[in-house]
Amino acid sequence: MRIGIAGAGQLGRMLALAGLPMGLQFLLLDARDDACGGQVAPLITGALDDPEALRRLGRECDLVTFEVENIPAAAAAAAAEFCPVQPPPEALAAAQDRLHEKRLFEAVGIPVAPFRTIDAAEDLPAALAELGAPAVLKTRRMGYDGRGQRFVRDADEAFEAWQALGGVPMVLEQCIAFDREVSLVGVARASGERRYYPLTHNVHRDGILATSVAPHADPALQQLAERHVGAVLDRLGYGGVLTLEFFVVDGRLLANEMAPRVHNSGHWTIEGAATSQFENHLRGILDLPLGDTSVRGHAGMVNFLGTLPDRSAVLTVPGAHYHAYGKHPRPGRKIGHATVVADNAAALADALARLEALAGVRAGN
């Protein structure tokens, strides 16, 4: 069985590493011939928005999946001419456009922050008046890790942000005073089996995930999040991992965005869960029995951005595991992470504080 992965960054790399013990073979596609996934599996070079490149991947593989959501659905459908593609291209179409994503959430009954569509600069004053200030202006496409968005406090600032973001179609969102950010990683088989990991509490800095902690023990929110993720899985006829990020507001969940793939906030599952998100994604897309998603005690993750901390220092932290992606250092770039597993919440908090200090993460939320 040969699995094609569109995208050969760290997520493609970790998918391949998870699948090798299962006897799976992999072929990766990426526009960069030095993509880090190519260090662990064969790599072919081609643009991810090129249908012919996806057709080649489909011809040479038994099934195709992807590690990023900025692949045009039409390109993913080109691979489907030759082999199954999971998650389905429809999931890509929804996730890569913020407006389509919000409409999907609303269609299946998942609350979102109030928003207005912005097709031209002339739409800004009325939208801002309706939503109130401050608000968040976001490009509809190609926005992740804090990119493609600006906070605005009045019409003049909104117009400046619209110009700075390229004058492309956007959405304006009401700025929500949330209590915390959480995510839920779910996984599905096409034949119907579902599993959900514990809710994860995430802290972002400058729009990029800094730390994750699991479990975020709140049975009512866990049940609600599972219902929301399950509704999207049902709607899309899904196979593989799907992650939804939420704002917690006065005991309610507001959906922020979804990722139809393995997700940074689920990296703790590599050592912290009975079955990692990467192995379960492969099980899901291949319609194999899903693995146990329970957490092993208390688990967390710290991202390494821009530079890698000293390996020896990280490994002196009790329960810590060091992951380097084989990527060239660059300011703000995700080039590795550490996971940590502990017996109790206090020990986990202590270990995470030590790892954050080594990673140069600023203190506080």
SS (H, E, C) 217-232: CCHHHHHHHHHHHHHH
Residue 105 lies in a domain: no
Give the integer Cα–Cα distance in Å for 161 and 3.
42
- Tell me, yes or no, whether 191 and 299 share the same domain: yes
- Tell me, yes or no, whether 168 and 197 share the same domain: no
pLDDT at 293: 98
pLDDT at 34: 95
- Tell me, yes or no, whether 16 and 76 share the same domain: yes
Task: Please name which of 309, 315, 305, 304 lies closest in space to residue 351, comparing C-alpha atoms.
Answer: 315
| Max CA separation in the chain (angstroms) | 58
Of 174, 206, 226, which one is at a domain's C-terminal end?
174
pLDDT at 364: 39
Task: Please name which of 114, 118, 100 lies closest in space to residue 162, comparing C-alpha atoms.
Answer: 118
Q: Per the structure, how many domains does the chain have?
A: 3
Task: Please name which of 338, 334, 211 lies closest in space to residue 270, comparing C-alpha atoms.
Answer: 338
CATH number at residue 61: 3.40.50.20
pLDDT at 73: 86
pLDDT at 321: 98
pLDDT at 133: 85
Of 174, 207, 224, which one is at a domain's C-terminal end?
174
Residue 30 lies in a domain: yes
Residue-number span of the structural domain to which 119 is assigned: 114-174
- Tell me, yes or no, whether 161 and 200 share the same domain: no
- Tell me, yes or no, whether 309 and 282 share the same domain: yes
Place of tokens 């939208």: 127
CATH number at residue 152: 3.30.1490.20
pLDDT at 365: 37
- Tell me, yes or no, whether 143 and 253 share the same domain: no
Contacts of 219 (CB under 8 A, 6+ apart): none
- Tell me, yes or no, whether 138 and 218 share the same domain: no
pLDDT in tens, the chain (365 residues): 999 999 999 999 999 999 999 999 999 999 999 999 999 999 999 999 999 999 999 999 999 999 998 888 889 999 999 999 999 988 988 898 999 999 999 999 999 999 999 999 999 999 999 999 899 999 988 666 557 788 898 888 889 988 999 889 999 999 988 999 999 999 999 889 999 999 999 999 888 899 999 999 899 999 999 999 999 999 999 999 999 999 999 999 999 999 999 999 999 999 999 999 999 999 999 999 999 999 999 999 999 999 999 999 999 999 999 999 999 999 989 999 999 999 999 999 999 999 999 998 654 33
Under 8 Å between Cβ of 226 and 323: no
Residues in the chain: 365
Contacts of 122 (CB under 8 A, 6+ apart): none
Under 8 Å between Cβ of 5 and 67: yes
pLDDT at 14: 98
pLDDT at 290: 98
Rounded to 5 degrees, what angle do the CA atoms 284, 286, 288 make?
70
- Tell me, yes or no, whether 15 and 36 share the same domain: yes
Helices (H), the chain: 10-19, 51-59, 73-79, 89-95, 98-107, 124-131, 155-164, 219-236, 269-272, 277-285, 311-315, 345-359
CATH number at residue 278: 3.30.470.20
Q: Would you call the peptide bond into 134 cis, given omega within 30 degrees of 0 as the criterion?
A: yes
